[in-house]
Amino acid sequence: MTSKRSKSLRELIAAADERGLAASGVACLERCLPPLEDGSGALAPLWTGLAKGTDGWSGSLARCREAMADADTDTGDEAVALVQQMLDAAPAAWETGPLREWADDCSVAALELHHRLDAGLGETEPSAAAVVEVLKGCREGEPTGAGPLVTGELRRQLRVLEILAAGEGGAGLRQVLRVSTEGQRVLRAVVSRRARVQG
């Protein structure tokens, strides 16, 4: 008897519905927030909007953008720019096509951020081509060569999409938020350690 093959990240994103796609993208942003100095609560409106679906997404997105604009952040921080860029690119329409493209972009951006932090912990930085191959492999189910931070982020992205695919409504969103909060703690610890080393 053969075991059932787990779906890759690409396959899970391709199969997700509107709520799953939107929540997956928001969860990626949530895990990228630790490098911000004062933006920890900026995404709260989006989590509220996700619970309401099509009736709450557009307004929540506008409030979230305002909160991020008002947050006390270092505008020169690469992670800050990344989060703001992903927020700006988020579609206001609660439609599968635009949300899938956005969720896919958020997935790649979050993996790239974790890769850059992984590379900062090593002695040498891989070439751009090598990075592309590693991240492509991660998203297709073959994370060969990925560092520990990328592997952890990949695992969380998969878990988030699996939870959302189960269709558990508000309970599922709360589980997703817990998974993302765990990712925040990991990234915060890494960023703090790098700051101590460089300082």
- CA-based R_g, the chain, Å: 16
CA 125 – CA 123 distance, rounded (Å): 7
pLDDT of residue 158: 96
Q: Going by C-beta distance under 8 Å and a sequence separation of 6 or more, which residues neighbour residue 105?
A: 25, 86, 89
pLDDT in tens, the chain (199 residues): 445 678 999 999 999 999 999 999 999 998 987 544 544 567 888 888 888 877 889 999 998 888 777 665 543 467 777 888 899 999 999 999 999 999 999 999 999 989 888 876 554 566 777 788 888 999 998 888 888 999 999 999 999 999 999 987 788 999 999 999 899 888 888 877 877 777 6
In a domain, 143, yes or no: yes
In a domain, 93, yes or no: yes
* Domain carrying residue 59: 9-198
In a domain, 16, yes or no: yes
Which pTM does this prediction carry? 0.87
pLDDT of residue 3: 53
Domains: count for the chain = 1
pLDDT of residue 76: 43
CA 52 – CA 156 distance, rounded (Å): 24
Two tokens, residue 199: 């300082």
pLDDT of residue 39: 45
